[in-house]
Structure 1
Amino acid sequence: MAVWGIGVAVYFVAITYRTSLGVAGLDAAERFHINASALSTFSLLQLLVYAGMQIPVGLLVDRLGPKRVLTLGVVLYTVGQFGFALSSSYGMALGSRALLGCGDAMTFISVLRLGSRWFPARRGPMIAQIAALVGMAGNLVSTLVLARFLHSFGWTPTFVSSAAGGIVVLIVLLLFLKDHPEGFAPPPPSAQHTGLGFVRRQIVESWREPGTRLGMWVHFTTQFPAMVFLLLWGLPFLVEAQGLSRGTAGELLTLVVLSNMAVGLIYGQVIARHHAARTPLALGTVLATALMWAIVLCWPGAHAPMGLLIVLCTVLGACGPASMIGFDFARPANPPERLGTASGIVNMGGFTASMTTLFAIGVLLDATGDNYRIAFASIFVVEALGVSQMLRLRRRAVRRERERLVASRVEAVHVPA
């Protein structure tokens, strides 16, 4: 448990760095003299690098193990955060966020692999939700601590001090983290498990599984509404479109995180006990999110009432836990030696959707003179695409999962004593 906790701590720091721009978006626009489209490019580039790294990272985790990949990730995201703190130009800041995104991309899949090696398979859904829950606590650091530091001490001291956290977790990681319990080392890779041919087979075989593809589309559809809100556009929406103070807007962002943590515990327990609840929970979360955004964006008058914004932020908190369901579809569909690659494919989904929506909102804000209602309507388009794919794949994935389960039971019966 303690060893796995070190990996989760690395992910916690990564989330803190990833979401730090969410409370500094307006400050970044002023510091670098940029418009909404340019501001969205920060998060867009970061997520582009993150999404693009998912399959390579999955392959690396399968090949090298979590410790080496996590070590490289910590080094990259710490250097990126230091660079962002010291950036005096837009170009330098962009490069720093790209480096940060590269390091961030190496954390969660590694943590999932650590969990699969240190805990029994039946606890997989709950372990994944707890990892995401602790990681989301890093968002609290951004909304509660970094926001206040930024207001009190300014840009460079705030981001430099936050970057020190990466150095701390790197030292602990190098000293204490182990890839697996004693006596449970995976077999060394054979000749056929190396080279470009093996890489190609890993990707193709993972993608062929309907559970992997369904998991990717679940992640795609559920994660991005909260990610876009927390990563960049939530604070500007609440301040500029809803007329709230920065303090009140920060409290609502904190509510999203707290709701995420509470719902994560509930979803993890439900899925661990009732596997059939995966699809209803995912689709229900998407429906609730779309409904709340429709009510807020269509509300007559300039501003939605505070009670409605509170409900919206509470519902957005369910998006992160719902996205973890995607991994619960991919996990039983793939053997352990392919789990990193399959997890990488799944993890691409939500970040691809977030990247698309971040860019669309920025472009639409510039094109419409900061009309947030039109800009945020892009959420519905992305959700509709994801839901259509979920409905197309769900029966095929469940049928294939049952076939694998039956085959494994038959194999267990015929194994000689």
Structure 2
Amino acid sequence: MSDRPEPWVGKAVAVWVTGLLVYVLAVFHRSSLAVAGLAASERFDISASQLATFTMLQLLVYALMQIPVGLAVDRVGPRRVLLTGLSLMTLGQLLFAVAESYPLAVLARVLVGSGDAMVFICVLRLVVSWFPPRRVPLFTQLTGMLGQLGAIVAAAPMTWALGTLGWTRAYAVAAGLGLVVGLAAFLLVRDSPQGRAAPAGRLDVRDLGRGLAESWRHPGTRLGFWIHFSTPFSANVLSMLWGYPFFVRGEGRTSAEAGLLLTIMVVAVMAAGPVLGWLVGRHPWHRSTMVLTILAAIVTVWTVVLAWPGEAPFGVLVLLVVVTGVGGPASVIGFDIGRTSNPPQRQSSATGVINQAGFYATLLLVVVIGLVLDWRTPEGSAYTQEAFRWAMASQYVLWTVGIVQILRYRVRTRRVVDRAALQAGATA
């Protein structure tokens, strides 16, 4: 028997790598504002709350578009939707480069968020279409892990570009990257080894609603939803907004130490992805158990930090960011459960349903932490350790809801799987 790889393997890797480049670029565009906050405040003459609106609105648009995008991928195929998303991101970054007013800048970030919302679902669909089922969990985790390179590229290189080239040229160059990657995607990406997806028939809203309802009705989709809801929000909140002030004001760390802790968390996210992908591929019947174990570890380490008398030691905070970071790759397990719970024609719809959960949880927690900090902080004073402990303790509400729902729907999912197995045995 020949040991040579199947003829489709090279094409599959080429399609995946190209889709991955689009996803890296999407993460880069999503993160490019993080290093430009002060420059944006000066350019648009806006307050801190208006600056935060950029990120909040971009995330909200991303979450709201997940279901429509999933339906679109199921109907017209991932290639068209991927190219559409890339075009919107490129247009949004170009508009952001030339915008001089706050409303126009907000519109630009909405376009970026809209395009970003289309990418990850498409790449996951390409993985499912091009690789054998046993390889899908690994390549799904690799996609999520390597996509974080976009955030790294958005840090130092974008900082250098803003300082050297100026606002307009820096963001114009960022937009230009979309043209290069878009050409590669146009030439190399195909929906499946069989070629282009079959053209969709007449749009029937009732059929779309029926398909979406069927996806949601399956307990596996709901299990995936609550896994994605419960696992990533803690890491997201730390990396996107509250991590730096929590470590500096809440735990008395220097700016350098806070930055190091957030960097360690990104490294943990990237390192955990392939490991979890391998474990899921080897032990598909224990996916929800893996998630519950990770959640128990996250809750435990947060409890240690918040209950520590005074400021927690630096080593304990390192443990916190490492364990919390693993929650990001753990959320991807929800997509794998959705994939195995739905037929091919509903998989992207199910992915869209699942993918919005973590973003809604993150948005809710970002707002709640801010409200609690304001509640526990005297007017005109800086945030205190006590205020941060109250604020970060609000995570327990979301963890409780999520864990209860995971336990609930994994029982229902197993019942459906057992019933299907019995019916298949009877038919055989």
TM-score, with structure 2 as normaliser: 0.86
Equivalent AA in structure 1 for residue 215 of structure 2: S
Q: Distance in 1 between matches of 2:143 and 2:113?
A: 19
Shift in CA distance, 138/209, structure 1 to aligned 2, threshold 3 Å: same
Q: Distance in 2 between matches of 1:111 and 1:189?
A: 20
- Structure 2 equivalent of residue 132 of structure 1: 144
Q: CA deviation at 1:210?
A: 0.3
- Structure 2 equivalent of residue 391 of structure 1: 407
SS in 1 for 2:308: coil
- Structure 2 equivalent of residue 229 of structure 1: 238
Q: Distance in 2 between matches of 1:40 and 1:407?
A: 53
Equivalent AA in structure 1 for residue 29 of structure 2: Y
- Structure 2 equivalent of residue 212 of structure 1: 221
| 1:15-414 to 2 correspondences below 5 Å | 15-24=27-36, 32-35=45-48, 37-147=49-159, 158-181=170-193, 183=194, 186-189=197-200, 194-301=203-310, 303-369=311-377, 370=383, 371-407=387-423, 413=428
Instruction: Report the count of equivalent residues.
Output: 407
Greater RCO, 1 or 2 (C-alpha within 8 Å, sep 6+):
1
Q: Is the 8 A contact 2:233 2:359 kept in 1?
A: yes
Q: Is the 8 A contact 1:18 1:231 kept in 2?
A: no
Equivalent AA in structure 1 for residue 67 of structure 2: I
Q: Distance in 2 between matches of 1:55 and 1:29?
A: 33
Q: Is the 8 A contact 1:44 1:359 kept in 2?
A: no
* CA displacement, residues 159-190 of structure 1 (integer Å, 9 cap, x when unaligned): 44433332321121122221111x36555545
* CA displacement, residues 10-56 of structure 1 (integer Å, 9 cap, x when unaligned): 11111122233444556656765424x54443322112111110110
Shift in CA distance, 157/297, structure 1 to aligned 2, threshold 3 Å: farther
Q: CA deviation at 1:113?
A: 0.8
Q: Distance in 1 between matches of 2:40 and 2:250?
A: 19
Shift in CA distance, 132/288, structure 1 to aligned 2, threshold 3 Å: same
SS in 2 for 1:238: helix
Shift in CA distance, 159/311, structure 1 to aligned 2, threshold 3 Å: farther
Shift in CA distance, 81/244, structure 1 to aligned 2, threshold 3 Å: farther
Shift in CA distance, 249/30, structure 1 to aligned 2, threshold 3 Å: farther
Percent identity among equivalent residues? Answer: 43
Equivalent AA in structure 2 for residue 396 of structure 1: R
Q: CA deviation at 1:200?
A: 0.8
Q: Distance in 2 between matches of 1:312 and 1:148?
A: 31
Shift in CA distance, 189/362, structure 1 to aligned 2, threshold 3 Å: same
SS in 2 for 1:227: helix
Shift in CA distance, 368/151, structure 1 to aligned 2, threshold 3 Å: farther
The structure that has the greater radius of gyration is 2
Q: CA deviation at 1:215?
A: 0.4
Please tell me the root mean square deviation across aligned C-alpha atoms, in Å.
Answer: 2.6
TM-score, with structure 1 as normaliser: 0.88
Shift in CA distance, 359/6, structure 1 to aligned 2, threshold 3 Å: same
Q: Distance in 2 between matches of 1:26 and 1:240?
A: 20
Q: Distance in 2 between matches of 1:226 and 1:250?
A: 14
Q: Distance in 1 between matches of 2:414 and 2:374?
A: 44
